[in-house]
Every structure is written in structure tokens, then in C-alpha cells.
Copies of this chain bind each other. A is one copy, B any other.
């Protein structure tokens, strides 16, 4: 549990150091499935004032705060719904990063325009539908999560990112660190996509190139990296002996 809190703390601070946040705009959470809880940033606290003690622990099932003395992020109920819906998700990040928000505000998905995108995500980063007046009136954060579920249509693994319409990106991964890295990727591909579309509004790479890049980093035939995890290899494993 201490390890989880340290990881969530570091991932939240990395929102700022990676240039994804203005002021306090953004939050990361991480889950402990065994304990049935997630740990999340407190609402409105600047990144440089965050400590393990300031983090908030929330029960996945009930939404009850079971640890910490502060209120959780205002987006906590959106995180909770995603944890309930997808057992494979271990961490979630929400930011207001510049280029991803621009796509969300424009109501445009981030299309797969090249291998940088395909190395990481198995398809476009989609935009949710607009919420109705009723969905904004009550349980807004939960309804935001439900709109994300509609958009994902049961698959959270191929593309661990979504844009909520008029708002911004939510990203996720097997733990808090990976969800933060997905947020970094989301912003990078959004920026490159905006510039690509300025140079060629009809840009579209061949599908077989896209498939090659996604599969060399992900899935059973992946050959990228030096650890079991394709996105980032912090623990390198020895290379398999090669035929001479």
C-alpha cells in the first residue's frame, strides 16, 4: 500500500514535470485490487505541495473515502467508474494538456497519422458524445465516466486513452505510472497530428505500416524492448541467446 501511494505521488508530480499541467489541472490515481481501493490526488492541491499523507484512498465499490484527511479530486467518480468497468485498469490519469484538449474542444478524434501513434495506441483516440443537460445536472462526474464507456464499447486495452468532448483526455494503464505515460503519448501524438493536418489535411498512412508498428511493440509477436512490458522497460532482462 505504501508502494502504491509512493507511485501515485510520483506520477502526480510527473504531470507537472512532463509539462502536461497548468496550475493544479490534472490528477492521477492507482488501484489496489486486493484491497478494493484506489489512491487519488486530493482536490486543488498544487503538485509541489503533494505528500503521501495528502493522498486520498477511496473504496471502489462504494465510493467511500477510507484514507486521508482531504477531499479527493473532483474527478474521482469518473476514475471509480472506469475501475469498476475494466478490471485490467490499474491506474488512471486526467490532464488538461494543451494539444489533446484542443482536439477535445474541436470535437475531433486524434487520428492515426503515423507510426508514433501506432507504436502506442491501436487506433484513433476517440471523443465522447456530448453529455445531455440532465447528465450535467446530477452526478456529472459519474455520467462523464458512462459516456467514456459508451465510447470505448467494451475495449479499454487497445487504445488506453479517450477525449471527453469539450473537456480533455483521460488515459490509463496497468498502473499509475503507465497511465501517466499514456497521457504523455496522447499529448505528443496530438501535437504532431495538429501539425501534420496543417501540412496535409488528407494525410493517411497505409494500414499495413500501422499494423506492423503496433504489433512490433504489443501482443504475442512483440519484439520491442528489454522487459516483459512493451511501453517502458525500467527493469531490463537479459537478451535471449541468438543463433550465430
Contact = CB atoms under 8 A, between A and B. Distances in A.
Contacts of A205: 105, 130, 165-166
Contact of A233 (B44, B166, B200): B44
A83 interface: no
Nearest to A56: B239
Interface stretch (A5-13, A84-92, A95-103, A149-157): A95-103
A115 B194 contact: no
B115 A45 contact: no
A185 B22 contact: yes
A192 B105 contact: yes
Nearest to A201: B106
A217 B140 CA distance: 13
A65 B232 CA distance: 22
Interface in A189-236: 191-200, 203, 205-206, 208-213, 216-217, 223-227, 230-234, 236
Given A194-B198, A224-B74, A45 B233 contact: yes
A2 interface: no
Q: Counting chain B CB atoms within 10 Å of each CB, which of A133, A136, A165, A168 scores highest?
A: A136
A137 to B, nearest CB: 7
A236 B115 contact: no
A174 interface: no
Contacts of A3: none
A102 B70 contact: no
Given A49-B234, A212-B140, A242 B65 contact: yes
Contact of A196 (B22, B102, B165): B102
Interface string A47-72: 00100001010000010110011110
Given A70-B236, A116-B168, A136-B208, 19 more contacts: A22-B188, A23-B231, A24-B232, A25-B116, A25-B119, A44-B224, A46-B232, A65-B242, A74-B223, A99-B195, A101-B196, A102-B195, A105-B114, A105-B192, A106-B196, A107-B203, A114-B166, A131-B208, A194-B198
